[in-house]
Structure 1
Amino acid sequence: MGFETIFIGNESPFLEVLSDISRVSGIVCEPIRGTSKKVFGSSYQFAKERKIEIISPSSFLKKPRPTDIIVVSGFSKLIPGRVIKSSRVATINIHQSLLPAYKGRHPLNWAIIKGENFTGVTLHHLNKNFDEGNIILQKKVKISEKDNIMDIYWKTVIKGTELLCAFYKNAKRGNIGGFRQNQKLATYYPPRKPRDGKIDWNETAVNINNLVRALTYPYPGAYFYFQKKKWVIEEAQVFRNGPAGSRVGKPFFLRGACLVKTGSDFIKINRFRNKNLKDIKN
């Protein structure tokens, strides 16, 4: 079935299409559990069910096995040169942004937080640095005002699947070239930690709502403390008009709506994670 492929990554959204368009002979991964397995899918489980060889990441990175194409997705470790050079056709990475913008971890979360109207997916060759190889193919994805992180994630998975199909088709014709990234346009954002989700109510309502949308389930969530409790907001919206004299950061109810004054306008809280709106007492 055409090219032999080895996949590197713990999550499995692209494995179905790779199995359809190539012969996946090995999956370099480790088991994942809990929420990540439920939401993003497990490469380890996929390999077991399809009877595909499971390869330890530590052993493969030290001593790679030759194959036609290596596809990397969501792998946090730097791929060494000996692995990159071991493929007969190409070693490529799927990055969920329009490189050279949003290099690094959690690019989709950051794109929403920064208020971007678009993001995308990039298929690129690997080199010695993270997210710096020549760009092969890209597709743009629109971020609407109501999209949360998982809406955007699945949009980019669909586009990423399309890019993989196009790449394998082009590779049969020997057309696997790419173009160099313009590093002057590069932006980089660091990995996010759960504590980064704490809401600063002095920010604008738009910025706070972007943070909420970027950190919905299964991510840790945008949160605040009130009445000695931690409240994680799962869904909110910008509310332009509220009573004058409202105190910034203090929830209150107005005609059944739970509102919070921010540095600019109000946030209407539609839903908490694991708590009811009525649990907040004025």
Structure 2
Amino acid sequence: MNIIFMGTPEFSVPSLLKLIKEFKVSAVFTQPDRPKGRGKNLAMSAVKQLATTYNIPVYQPLKLRNNEEMIETIKDLKPDFIVVVAFGQILPKEVLDIPKYACVNLHASLLPKYRGAAPINWCIIDGETKSGNTTMLMGEGLDTGDILLSEEVEISNNITAGELTEVLMDSGADLLVETINGIVNNKITPIKQENKLSTYASKLEKKMANISWNNSSSNIHNFIRGLNPSPIAYTHYENKVMKIYKSRIINEQSDKQSGSIIEVSKEGLRVSTGNGVLLIEEIQFPGKKPLKVKDYIIGNKINVGTILK
């Protein structure tokens, strides 16, 4: 089975590794090297790093649409499948029509819900209790193709987006292999997506990460874990940005103003919200590393009564 793989971030790596072990991956397409870190040095994508380890040819086009040279290269490779996992580009019809069997995409949601760039983050922010992976036939739209296979996973009350990503990236690799074998052996019947049930998971922006303390404790808790590990939810403590990495819902009510710090202890910061009290357990101030509140207050003071904004 001759496969072309297209992907970029860490999420794509288990899928590529699984395909390398199960089939023949003749080429990898990934995004161009990008400046990274404080030094802004060019860095390879996680997928490129793995591909070079296995001496697989790597292509990094800025775009595939109207790129005749790259499209001819793909045709020359004569793929049975093109497999896409978080590549970062929508494939044009000329590419979709190339493989013998299909262009297959792995998407980290239970489609048609949470189409788009950040499905894992938004399902947690929205308080969903289950998520999963879906494989689909690729079309010209954004995550609109026919569903091939899907699998559900439970979302626990305190799991972060980063932790759920690790679960889905591993299970998704197995689902891809099952999908490819199912297509080849004619054991999968594609199912049309119900567009009226679709939701959109937009790209995350730093400017959206400011916590609104007028929301309920549960909504803020979901917001915090949905933005961990990036871009990280934040608030302002005495005009300083305080990033919040971890929180916990506690069964308490408060008549204090929303955002008021009502207690500071080794457990964390108890903060009044629009409905209930939220315990803040891990924080970070500018120029400092993230710390549990119990460690931060050893050498620093946080004032009860301060209003977080």
- Does TM, scored on the shorter chain, surpass 0.5? yes
* 1:223-247 Cα shifts (integer Å, max 9, x gaps): 00111110111111012225x5433
Contact 1:209 / 1:237 at 8 angstroms: preserved in 2? yes
Task: Choose from 7, 13, 17 the match for 2:5.
Answer: 7
Residue identity over aligned pairs, in percent, reads 26
1:134 to 1:245, Cα distance in 2 relative to 1, 3 A: closer
**Large movers: runs of 4+ above 6 Å:** none
- Of 102, 125, 138, the residue aligned with 1:113 is 125
Counterpart of 1:232 in 2: which secondary structure? strand
Question: Which SS does the other structure have where 1:209 is aligned?
Answer: helix
Instruction: Give the conservation status (yes or no) of the 8 Å contact 2:63–2:89.
Output: no
SS in 1 for 2:201: coil
Q: TM-score, normalised by structure 1?
A: 0.90
Q: What's the counterpart of residue 263 of structure 2?
A: 253
Q: Displacement, 1:176?
A: 4.9
Give the alignment of 1:80-119 within 5 angstroms: 80-119=92-131
Q: Does 1:19 align with 2:23?
A: no
Does residue 233 of structure 2 align to residue 235 of structure 1?
A: no
Indicate how the Cα distance of structure 1 residues 155 and 80 shifts in structure 2: closer, same or farther if over 3 A, else same.
Answer: same
Question: Which whole-Å CA distance do the structure 2 matches of 1:32 and 1:22 have between them?
Answer: 29
> Would the alpha carbon gap of residues 176 and 33 (structure 1) be closer, same or farther in structure 2, given more than 3 Å must change?
farther
2:181 is paired with a residue whose SS is: helix
* Unaligned residue ranges in structure 1 (runs of 5+): 36-40
Cα distance in 2, alignment partners of residues 223 and 88 from structure 1: 49
Q: Which runs of 5+ in 2 are unaligned?
A: 38-44, 304-309
Aligned to 1:31: 33
Contact 2:136 2:148 in 1 (8 A): yes
Q: Over the residues paired in the alignment, what is the CA RMSD in angstroms? A: 1.9
1:56-94 deviation line (CA, Å, top 9, x unaligned): 234755232131100111122211001100111110111
1:53 partnered with 2:57: yes
Q: CA deviation at 1:50?
A: 0.9
> Does the aligned pair in 1 maintain the 2:148–2:190 contact within 8 Å?
yes
More divergent stretch after superposition (269-278 vs 204-213): 269-278
Give the number of equivalent residue pairs.
Answer: 273
The alpha-carbon deviation at position 220 of structure 1 amounts to: 1.4
Normalized against structure 2, the TM-score is what?
A: 0.83
Distance in 2 separating the partners of 1:155 and 1:24: 24
User: In the alignment, residue 224 of structure 1 is paired with which amino acid?
Assistant: T
